[in-house]
């Protein structure tokens, strides 16, 4: 175990190194490139024994090669971002349908056009119906920890689905944060060798990816069941993670919710800023505000979310993404999740931080004050906070 300063990209690379993958296919894209460059350097220096580091000609080929390797039973890691993630989109569904537990770090960046290098979550959330397990980290320690957990959850025989671990571009990918890097022995105890029995092996011919007729629905239903199973597996895995590494995670991250009347629902790195603003508002203004951070996006932990929000009077869903013609992507998901509560809170929608537009404490306080107004008028709002 060692304490060190690393960027989010390096934290993902450390995660990959510690899980001992057999194969890492790669393609560069800002802001992800540093992650694969780190792995390339380690590979060249002989620090990744048992791993073949590969370079493809496109992200589509990266995910295709990942599928090929996983189909013969290899443990696979890769990373991507933005346009690259969209180029992979077709093969993401295929990887999930084939039940191949590939793990990918995704580094969120807004989508073209116009071009931006900065972060928002449209690239990541565009994959939300692909069948992948989807995790979103708040800081660099969580990036590494989620990587380890993602492999354990993805490879569980009750799940067998691919998983992506998301971090915000620049804010995490290029920012040094102090993290604890666990020892290889601890990771080996947590994550054993991957020995699948459904993949191609010598003496075991398998047909992967054939056409089906009426059975299509059965296979899709199995994907759904596996993804739902993952929720239970996640709780077991997080307990075990706590036992070995002494860091506690839950399906959702609850911050100062015990007596909170107002709750901000966030995703990713802006949660840290929001938490600081919440502490100030509580201390200086006595506002009973708390935060719920979504860290598992798929499968959707509906029960945990409803439980965490059932005491709130008003909720602000802060979306760093946009579905044009619809609004924030997570807003309707939260509303649907709360619909069956006996006493439903007021739910307002705020679209913020597109293309890296900075999310300051000031903006978080502004949203909180608007939420107080909404509670007085009794009418929720749908608003862009940055315009």
The contact set with other proteins (CB under 8 A) reads: 22-23, 25, 50-52, 54-58, 60-62, 64-74, 76, 90-91, 94, 200-203, 205-213, 215
Nearest to other proteins of 53, 350 (CB atom): 53
Nearest to other proteins of 46, 325 (CB atom): 46
Select from 173, 194, 152 the least CA-distant residue to 36. 173
Q: For residues 63 and 40, what is the distance between their CA atoms, to the nearest angstrom?
A: 18
Q: For residues 121 and 322, what is the distance between their CA atoms, to the nearest angstrom?
A: 8
Q: How far is CA 143 from CA 147, 305, 306, in A?
A: 6, 21, 25
Nearest to other proteins of 52, 339 (CB atom): 52
Q: How far is CA 161 from CA 73, 104, 338, in A?
A: 13, 12, 27
Nearest to other proteins of 97, 332 (CB atom): 97
Nearest to other proteins of 68, 355 (CB atom): 68
Q: For residues 366 and 209, what is the distance between their CA atoms, to the nearest angstrom?
A: 51
Q: Are 79 and 143 in contact (CB under 8 A)?
A: no
Nearest to other proteins of 68, 311 (CB atom): 68
Q: Please report which residue ranges of 79-139 form alpha helices under DSSP H.
A: 82-97, 122-125
Q: How far is the CB of 98 from other proteins (least distance, A)?
A: 9
Residue 375: alpha-carbon gap to chain centroid: 31
Q: How far is the CB of 130 from other proteins (least distance, A)?
A: 14
Length of the chain counted residue by residue: 387
Q: For residues 83 and 110, what is the distance between their CA atoms, to the nearest angstrom?
A: 9
Looking only at the bridges linking them, the beta strands covering 2-6 and 23-26 are unpaired
Residue labelled with tokens 């692909």: 130
| Contact residues for 150 (Cβ-Cβ < 8 A; gap 6+) | 103, 133, 135, 163, 164, 165
Phi first, then psi, for residue 185 (nearest 5°) are -65, -40
Q: How far is CA 220 from CA 71, 210, 216, 225, in A?
A: 19, 14, 6, 9
Q: How far is the CB of 220 from other proteins (least distance, A)?
A: 13
Nearest to other proteins of 76, 237 (CB atom): 76
Q: How far is the CB of 219 from other proteins (least distance, A)?
A: 9
Nearest to other proteins of 24, 181 (CB atom): 24
Nearest to other proteins of 22, 175 (CB atom): 22
Nearest to other proteins of 67, 111 (CB atom): 67
Q: How far is the CB of 161 from other proteins (least distance, A)?
A: 17
Q: For residues 46 and 133, what is the distance between their CA atoms, to the nearest angstrom?
A: 31
Q: How far is the CB of 163 from other proteins (least distance, A)?
A: 18
Q: How far is the CB of 88 from other proteins (least distance, A)?
A: 10
- First-to-last alpha carbon distance for the chain, in angstroms, is 46
| Contact residues for 215 (Cβ-Cβ < 8 A; gap 6+) | none
Q: How far is the CB of 19 from other proteins (least distance, A)?
A: 14
249 forms bridges with which residues in the sheet?
none
Q: How far is the CB of 166 from other proteins (least distance, A)?
A: 23
Q: Tell me if residue 48 falls in helix, strand or coil.
A: coil
Q: How far is the CB of 21 from other proteins (least distance, A)?
A: 9
Q: Tell me if residue 165 falls in helix, strand or coil.
A: strand
């Amino acid at each position: 175990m060692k304490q060190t300063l690393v960027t989010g990209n390096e934290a993902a690379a450390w995660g990959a190194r510690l899980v001992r993958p057999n194969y890492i296919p790669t393609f560069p894209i800002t802001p992800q490139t540093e992650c694969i460059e780190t792995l390339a350097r380690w590979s060249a220096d002989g620090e990744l024994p048992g791993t073949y580091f590969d370079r493809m000609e496109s992200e589509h080929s990266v995910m295709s090669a990942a599928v090929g390797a996983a189909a013969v039973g290899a443990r696979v890691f890769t990373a991507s971002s933005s346009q690259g993630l969209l180029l992979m989109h077709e093969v993401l569904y295929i990887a999930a349908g084939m039940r191949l537990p590939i793990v990918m770090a995704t580094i969120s960046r807004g989508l073209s056009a116009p071009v931006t290098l900065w972060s928002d979550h449209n690239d990541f959330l565009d994959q939300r119906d692909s069948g992948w397990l989807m995790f979103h980290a708040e800081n660099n320690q969580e990036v590494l920890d989620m990587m380890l957990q993602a492999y354990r959850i993805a490879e569980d025989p009750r799940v067998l689905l691919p998983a992506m671990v998301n971090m915000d571009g620049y804010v995490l990918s290029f920012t040094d944060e102090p993290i604890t890097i666990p020892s290889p022995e601890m990771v080996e105890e947590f994550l054993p060798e991957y020995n699948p029995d459904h993949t191609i092996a010598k003496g075991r011919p398998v047909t992967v990816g054939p056409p089906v007729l009426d059975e299509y629905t059965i296979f899709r239903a199995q994907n759904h069941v596996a993804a739902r199973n993952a929720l239970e597996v996640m709780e077991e895995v997080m307990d075990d993670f706590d036992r070995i590494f002494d860091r506690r995670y839950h399906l959702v991250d609850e911050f100062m919710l015990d007596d909170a009347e107002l709750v901000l629902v966030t995703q990713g790195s802006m949660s840290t800023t929001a938490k600081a603003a919440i502490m100030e508002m509580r201390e200086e203004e006595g506002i009973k505000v708390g935060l719920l951070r979504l860290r598992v996006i798929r499968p959707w932990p509906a029960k945990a979310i409803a439980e965490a929000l059932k005491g709130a009077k008003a909720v602000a869903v802060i979306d760093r993404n946009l579905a044009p013609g619809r609004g924030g992507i997570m807003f309707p998901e939260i509303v649907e999740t709360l619909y069956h509560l006996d006493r439903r809170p007021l739910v307002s929608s705020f679209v913020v931080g597109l293309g890296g537009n900075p999310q300051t404490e000031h903006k978080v306080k502004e949203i909180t004050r608007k939420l107080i107004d909404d509670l007085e008028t009794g009418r929720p709002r749908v608003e862009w906070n940055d315009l």
